[in-house]
A and B are shown apart, each in its own frame.
Chain A
Amino acid sequence: EIVLTQSPGTLSLSPGERATLSCRASQSVSSSYLAWYQQIPGQAPRLLIYSASNRATGIPDRFSGSGSGTDFTLTISRLEPEDFAVYYCQLYGNSPPITFGQGTRLEIK
């Protein structure tokens, strides 16, 4: 079983600052199947990044993804007020393992 561990659990930053969120896999995974989602409280998740580094349609370029093997990173270059939310990484594909990290909560400092 592949486990995705996100850190930190909570990140407190101010608008305009840079956010760096980490996702670590318990074993090496293909970057082709690593995604990041944003969930604003009360809303459904939204795909931000797929294949580790590709922005989904309509996602601002302040969001970027990187990484390979077991270590992946979501970076938000300059935080906007609407970016404060919960972020999940995911290993996906057509067959298991399909799993999510436990989430990182990005809160306003």
Chain B
Amino acid sequence: EVQLVESGGGLVQPGGSLRLSCAASGFTFSAYWMSWVRQAPGKGLEWVANIKQDGSEKYYVDSVKGRFTISRDNTKNSLYLQMNSLRAEDTAVYYCVRSIAVAGFRPWGQGTLVMVSS
């Protein structure tokens, strides 16, 4: 069974840092692009970042450029999101998602909640 399990969320003060992790299983992790998507409380979905199979290409939504870094470790079947200089508007559930270029984002992890507040 294809599975994605996020961890690392929590409460952090504005300006702080947090590192999210996503453990993948049930598929050949190194063969897929991977993405992070977030959802602020009561709001819609927002794509945050994605990374190519070998990590050679990375893309970010403008609002996180220079603050967030996506990375992966194919030997550990893991995806990461390093979040620095966090702001209140970064408060959201963060989902790890497998990306398939012509076949959509599937599956989605259960999400991990990041709360930025003093």
Contact = CB atoms under 8 A, between A and B. Distances in A.
A70 interface: no
A92 B99 contact: yes
Contacts of A45: 45, 95, 105, 108
Contact of A51 (B52, B103, B107): B103
Contact of B104 (A35, A94, A101): A35
B27 interface: no
Contacts of B102: 32-33, 50-51
Contact of B109 (A32, A44, A88): A44
Given A44-B108, A88-B44, A93 B95 contact: no
Contact of A90 (B104, B109, B110): B104
Interface string B86-113: 0000000001000111111111111100
Interface residues on B, range: 20 to 34
A47 to B, nearest CB: 4
Contacts of B33: 94
B50 interface: yes
B104 A100 contact: no
Contacts of A75: none
A104 B61 CA distance: 23
Interface of A: 32-33, 35, 37, 39, 44-47, 49-51, 54, 56, 88, 90, 92-96, 98-103
| 7 A-B pairs with least C-beta separation | A50-B104, A35-B104, A44-B108, A47-B106, A98-B47, A100-B45, A47-B104
30 contacts: A32-B102, A33-B102, A35-B104, A35-B105, A44-B95, A44-B109, A44-B110, A44-B111, A45-B45, A45-B95, A45-B105, A46-B107, A46-B108, A47-B105, A49-B104, A50-B102, A50-B103, A51-B102, A51-B103, A51-B104, A56-B106, A88-B45, A92-B101, A92-B105, A93-B101, A94-B33, A95-B57, A98-B47, A100-B46, A103-B44
